[in-house]
A and B are shown apart, each in its own frame.
Chain A
Amino acid sequence: MNFREYKVGARLFSFALGSSMVITLLFPAMEMGAAVATDIALDKQLSAGRETGFNYDDPLMLGWGKPSKVLVSADPVSGQPIPATYAYVYPAGTPFPSGILHPRTLGSAGAGLSEKVGRVGEAQKKSGAVFLIKSDEQKHFYIENATATLGWAPDAVLKAALDENVAHVGAGKTQFVREGCWWCHTLLPEQTQDWQVFGAPPMLGDFNGESPTAFGSDRKAPDLLHVASRNSSKEWMMLHFFNPRLVQPHSIMPRYDYLWGEKDATGAKIDFNKWRAEYTEYSEGKRADAPEVPSFAKDSRIRDLVDFMLSLK
């Protein structure tokens, strides 16, 4: 017995599946691949670094090898004041995002400008680099390698900045993906009815270089794409992550107190059991005030996450 009688069928099958893939994969990929990166896309990829899902540089997904987003108001070389601007600092050894490695993913105009004017081709992973987002008169956004154009060294920028001006946005996004925030929250306001409450939906060029997009498909909780425009209080975020029911008694959001780690901002050990016991007394009405939430350490995972939340404008 053999397959002979099924030759027609087998050919038709490959034809059908092949055409389906041409229409639903090849055509859209060509179209989306030509999208021109907006400033939003440049900001997202420069703050998140190479990629957020599992990768060699961060195999345990703890936020290793991620850049910092730094608010700079004085030139780190000369010390002269300059208009406040965000610099994306990649210390030596930090992997670069796709816009630096493959500028053509930025779309035609952005790619040319980033290479010629922005000199991104000269950025070296070995020595690190500092990037800025710039635009020309026609509002074409591109990436500038400030290490090459202005002589800003990553360490100098970090040293000149106050800790409150340094945001661990990339490492925070890692926490967002790893802790599964996107099973309840979305990062995609819908085009139809979300304008009023959750803000503007994203546009075609807003995603170039972002991976993963972590849109989320279930929305059991508010959309977060513009959350910091509604609420930019670090204090509120801190209380809310430690125990959402401190600020919102009916919330179903889980407690993320474990992201504080062992020690608080002063270096003292956090006694979680005591806190929980006191909170239970409080929620049963046996105590007038809720226990004090410990403030988090500078290098805790929660700091990264809060930095990421506050960057979502």
Chain B
Amino acid sequence: MLKYLFAKNEDIPTGTAAVFFGFSSIVWFVIGTGLGSFNAAKLAFPDFVMGNEFLAFGHLRQVHVHAVIFGWISMAFAMAMMYITPALGNTKLWSEKLGVWNCFLWNVGLSLGLTVLWAGITSGREYSDFPWFIDLYIALFIAIPLSLNVWMTVITRRTQGIYTTNWFFVGACFMLIIVFLIGNLPEFFHLTGLTEAYLTWWFAHNVLGLWITPVAAAIAYYTIPKVTGNPLYSHRIGHLHFWSVVVFYSTPAAHHLMSAPLPEWLKSFASVEGVLILVPAVAFVSNILLTMQGKWNMFVENLEIRFTITGCLLAIPLNMQGGFQQTRAINWYVHGTGWIVAHAHLALLGFSTFLEGAAVYLGLQTLMKRKLYSLTLGNVHFWLLLIGFAIYWISMTIAGLIQGAGKIYEVPYIDVVIAEHPYMIARWIGGTMVFISNVVWLYNMWMTAREGTVVPAGRMPHELAYER
């Protein structure tokens, strides 16, 4: 990588930035889920590793969250953007060199940010935990260069229109910058009190709703038509999806603070808008599933399709939960329980991770022109990930329902802690399977780079047969 930082733009091979981003994201995935599994072990066995401040749960929890969100998910997005945006514009990435620098500065900044959080230096605001200098770094050296590259690639495209995926990319980059700068205003300008608390959740909600969800969906709009060869079922529905994300997903932030004394009209408004999030969700899932018509055999036979469709199917329970758990009728029961942790992992480890996984598989094989090293290892990755996630989700959902019941029936707190214990152990086992699956994936991708069969020019990797 270092040698490309100072090379001339023309001398950097096409796709370099995307390949670096792809491998970085997998490495962060391994680190992030490893930390997740460590934290889960601490919640199941509180005396597992003790006496050291830097291995304490309170110091490592936020490191896990930010490693997976900014390391795995967002870097996989960057990889997808640097590969898909030029491919859809029939052109090259606007600046490969900017891309390589972006990746380098991203890794440096993220390592720095996580170290600071690890040491306990935080803004004390969930999801925007990074202190303000890290926030500024992220805006200036991570988000803006990435967006610039995506926007300029779209502007310099050699096609007449812009395909669905690219609108989403262009729009989401813009929204990410806005959300980052506005969501962190309390830290820049010392805002306090409820305003600060509300902006914290405005940030948390919108970074998920205007960055992670739309970009993940946009990736599926590319992968499914590309690999199956079917055209997208409907561009109109794609429009509906895009506009309803902008209108409905950007407004319900207050549903995270239903039990705080925010203005009542705001809470009611948020609740209604939150149910309307079902509009983009239904539009997306139906559009993708209908695109699969006649090609359902690929759901079984093709790894990338299997990942993408699994992610889309997981979006169904995700949005059903999301739409209803935030209404007052249900929120008072599940708020603050393990149910929400299960929901967060259904969104990020279920829905979104599976879609990005497919993009990274497809992108790395295409750009390196190498066929995946081993299908068996790919299958092992898929199943361990899915089963591990399912164990996690089911166990935390049950734990959440127990906590909810304990809450309303005023059960002494410690009895709730005792009742949850088996599910904490199950969560740890499930999460550890996810971690192991990612180690397998990293090995498989590394071997693909070194020993995968070369894909001949003009062919797609999925057209070749697997060898192992």
Contacts and interface: CB of A to CB of B under 8 A. Distances in A.
Interface of A: 1-3, 5-6, 9, 12-13, 16-17, 20-21, 23-25, 27-29, 31-33, 35, 41, 45, 50-54, 59-61, 98, 105, 177-184, 186, 188, 190-194, 196-197, 201-204, 206-222, 244-245, 248, 250-255, 257-258, 272, 276
Interface in B217-275: 243, 246-247, 250-251, 253-254, 256-257, 259-263, 266, 269-270
Interface stretch (B1-9, B13-21, B48-56, B96-104): B48-56
Given A207-B194, A218-B336, A251 B414 contact: yes
Contacts of A211: 124, 186, 190-193, 196
A272 to B, nearest CB: 6
Given A13-B171, A276-B50, 12 more contacts: A16-B243, A24-B202, A33-B195, A61-B122, A98-B190, A180-B56, A180-B120, A194-B407, A211-B196, A218-B340, A245-B46, A254-B58
Contacts of B257: 215
A276 B192 CA distance: 42
B262 A212 contact: no
Contacts, number: 226
Contacts of B202: 24-25
B61 interface: yes
Nearest to B418: A250
Interface string B314-341: 0000000000000000001001111011
Nearest to B191: A211
Nearest to A192: B332
Nearest to A52: B124
A182 B126 CA distance: 10
A168 to B, nearest CB: 17
Determine which residue in A9, A24, A27 has the highest number of CB atoms from chain B within 10 A of its CB, and name it: A24
B310 interface: no
Given A24-B250, A214-B124, A32 B194 contact: yes
Interface in B167-210: 167, 171, 175, 178, 182, 186-187, 190-200, 202
Decide if the interface of chain B is mainly helix, strand, loop or mixed: helix
> Which 6 A-B residue pairs are closest in the complex by CB-CB distance?
A180-B58, A212-B124, A54-B131, A178-B120, A219-B336, A190-B259
B403 interface: yes
Contact of B250 (A3, A17, A178): A17
Interface residues of B, number: 85
A179 B338 CA distance: 21
Contact of B43 (A32, A214, A220): A220
B336 A28 contact: no
B141 interface: no
Decide if the interface of chain A is mainly helix, strand, loop or mixed: loop
B336 A20 contact: no
A258 B131 CA distance: 24
Nearest to B65: A183
A192 B404 CA distance: 12
Contacts of A254: 42, 46, 50, 56-58
30 contacts: A21-B250, A23-B269, A32-B193, A32-B195, A32-B198, A53-B187, A61-B121, A61-B122, A178-B120, A179-B58, A180-B59, A181-B58, A182-B124, A193-B410, A197-B413, A201-B261, A202-B260, A202-B261, A207-B197, A212-B125, A215-B197, A215-B257, A218-B336, A218-B338, A221-B413, A245-B47, A250-B417, A250-B418, A252-B43, A272-B51
A5 B161 CA distance: 8
Contacts of B190: 50-51, 98, 211
A241 B458 CA distance: 65
Contacts of A210: 192-193, 196
Contact of B51 (A16, A220, A257): A257
Contact of B194 (A24, A197, A204): A204
A28 B125 contact: no
Given A54-B131, A60-B121, A252-B46, A183 B61 contact: yes
Nearest to B61: A183
A20 B332 contact: no
Contacts of A222: 413
Interface in B34-73: 42-44, 46-47, 50-53, 56-59, 61-62
Contact of A208 (B124, B159, B192): B192
B335 to A, nearest CB: 7
B51 A35 contact: no
Nearest to B335: A190
Given A5-B161, A20-B250, A28-B198, A51 B122 contact: no
A214 B126 CA distance: 8
B51 A255 contact: yes
Contact of A25 (B175, B182, B200, B256): B182
Contacts of B370: none
Contacts of A188: 259-260
